[in-house]
Amino acid sequence: MALIVILLPAVFALSAFAINIAHIESANTEVQIAADSAVRAASRAYAITGDEGLALAAAKDAASRNPIGDFVLPLTASDLEFGVSIRDNASSAYQFSPSNDGSGNSVRLVTHTLANSNSGLEPLFPFFGAGMTIRPLRTAVSTQGVIDVALVVDRSGSMAYSADEVAQYPPLPAAAPIGWDFGDPVPADARWLDLIAAVNTFNTELNESPQTELLSLSTYNHESVTNQKLTEDYSLVTAELNQISMQFDAGGTSIGRGMLEGLAAVNDHSLSRPHASKVMVLMTDGVQNYGNTPDSASWALANSGVTLFTVTFSDEADQTTMERIAERCGGQHFHAVTAQQLQDAFRDIASRLPTLITQ
């Protein structure tokens, strides 16, 4: 009993020490999360406006929305650096370099204000280590990434039908004029025309982003073709889609072939940028019924480091497969049943492209 009485304070002290150490590690993690959120907001504001003051304001707002308990990460202008992050190739890390000329694609946040202040996060057991305040020095870098995008869309016969009708031949699409057949201009109200409107929305979002994304267009039915190689002139993509509208052919649905076609386009060594991230946006209104499967093609994308976003249009589409392959390739799946929902999906994808946490 005497020994227990003697050792009990030491046990309490060691327990308090262990709990404080765990609390410090947790605080470091939460400060890093707040710093990541703040630098992402600062990077986006700086890329759009070029104003360092607005970038700081955005960082403070993001930090206030990611408190550590009741503690908000303090930020001042000295915590932010503006510059350029680049990488030599797709498998190497981004390297940040400060820039003083007001240009750049990246913001670095270092928690100097917190580390040098008298306030901070308190330990859970101040009686052990009284006066100890947790003031971690953490670093986060956010980059408006350079991205090459492969747009891969379905031009099978079902795309001639409207979004609110079953795409089954026969009969012909309800909006088809008398005497119409495949090979003629696509009928009014066709899903294909809804797609063109959605792609135009997507292109507008890319045009308004702070970086220059390169965009290619590949289309598929039972065969696949790259209609437009990587370009920063998105009107060329729209022109190719409109050209297809003038002679819309029938055909099956080989989603896997379309994916492999888009993969070749986004990795075209004569045009793609070795330091750029690779993204594919894949759209279908149906179910694979010819050639390479989407699952097999998705492994090729995943092994090449291509992020895949999938869009299904109409309830006839294979949502389960499209969701699975998007998840496999680090992207996301979107489903639409109306023309407006399709535009919203493409707009949402475009808004997710530019910003990367690179440290």
- As a whole number, mean pLDDT of residues 191-219 equals 91
Confidence of residue 359 (pLDDT cuts 50, 70, 90): low
pLDDT in the model for residue 343: 95
List alpha helices for 65-190, DSSP H.
Answer: 112-116
SS3 string of the chain? Answer: CHHHHHHHHHHHHHHHHHHHHHHHHHHHHHHHHHHHHHHHHHHHHHHHHCCHHHHHHHHHHHHHCCCECCECCCCCHHHEEEEEEECCCCCCCCEEEECCCCCCCEEEEECHHHHHCCCCECCCCCCCCCCCCECCCCEEEEEECCEEEEEEEECCHHHHCCCCCCCCCCCCCCCCCCCCCECECCCCCCHHHHHHHHHHHHHHHHHHCCCCCEEEEEEECCCEEEEEEEECCCHHHHHHHHHHHHCCCCCCCCHHHHHHHHHHHHCCCCCCCCCCEEEEEEEECCCCCCCCCHHHHHHHHHHCCEEEEEEEECCCCCHHHHHHHHHHCCCCEEEECCHHHHHHHHHHHHHHCCEEECC
Does the pLDDT at position 138 exceed 60? yes
pLDDT in the model for residue 291: 83
Does the pLDDT at position 331 exceed 80? yes
Mean predicted lDDT score pLDDT of the chain: 86
Domains along the chain with CATH numbers: 2-144 (no CATH), 147-357 (3.40.50.410)
pLDDT in the model for residue 120: 67
Percent of residues, the chain, with pLDDT higher than 90: 51
pLDDT in the model for residue 31: 85
- As a whole number, mean pLDDT of residues 9-30 equals 66
pLDDT in the model for residue 179: 92
pLDDT in the model for residue 354: 57
pLDDT in the model for residue 327: 93
Does the pLDDT at position 147 exceed 90? no
pLDDT in the model for residue 301: 95
Does the pLDDT at position 88 exceed 80? no
pLDDT in the model for residue 211: 72
C-alpha to C-alpha distances, 36 to 29, 39, 64, 67, 129, nearest whole angstrom: 11, 5, 13, 12, 29
pLDDT in the model for residue 355: 59
- As a whole number, mean pLDDT of residues 126-148 equals 74
Does the pLDDT at position 145 exceed 80? no
Higher pLDDT: 221 or 128? It is 221
- As a whole number, mean pLDDT of residues 86-111 equals 77
pTM of the predicted structure, to 2 decimals: 0.69
Residue-wise pLDDT tens digits, 224-267: 999 999 999 999 999 999 999 999 998 999 999 999 999 999 99
pLDDT in the model for residue 309: 95
pLDDT in the model for residue 177: 93
Residue-wise pLDDT tens digits, 262-315: 999 999 999 988 777 899 999 999 888 888 899 999 999 999 989 999 999 999
Confidence of residue 19 (pLDDT cuts 50, 70, 90): low
